[in-house]
Amino acid sequence: MKFRSLLLLGAPGSGKGTQGQLLAQIPGFIHLSSGELFRALDPGSDLGKLFRQYSDQGQLVPDDLTIRVWQDHVQTLIDSGRYRPAADFLVLDGIPRNVNQLAKLSASVDILHVFHLCCPNRDVLIQRLAARVHQTNRADDADPKVILRRITIYETETKPLLGAIPQERIHNVDADQLPYQVLRQILNSLP
């Protein structure tokens, strides 16, 4: 059985995490953020140290490692009864992050809708990320060079996903709106 999924796609600072958390408050939606999974790792563990090496430089964790951590977490959610694949939607945030991850996950994930959170003004993204440093203790958002590297990586590695997914599944959402307005636009696109 493939996991019925919604994909939140957008540059760092576009509001994917915010929208994922809002959707997770609605019964039947399970938010899975690859970034949150990695940040929740024990920083003293080998995996936690490895993640920190990549994130501190604004780099992505290698695909195979990302998928392995994600799959282990999904299985934990199923085993605990917190995720019911036949009834719930997975709200994907940060995975798949590129066309390679999409191909590797295609056997187990059915992405029914992609919500492309569009925020073309880089200055807005940078301001949001800089504010997030203090709000959520995200050290990877403290360095402007790291922020710009992350945005560039999104544009070169992640945004091409839009060409690998059937266009009728993609919904462009104006991420410059207030969070409740973005959520309304997402919910209005669902059947």
Residue 94 near residue 33 (C-beta atoms within 8 A): yes
Residue with tokens 């919604």, as numbered in its chain: 6
Residue-by-residue pLDDT tens, the chain, 191 positions: 899 999 999 999 999 999 999 999 999 999 999 888 888 888 888 888 888 888 777 677 889 889 988 998 999 999 999 999 999 999 999 999 999 999 999 999 999 999 999 998 888 888 888 887 767 666 666 678 888 888 999 999 999 999 999 999 999 999 999 999 999 999 999 98
CA end-to-end span of the chain: 21
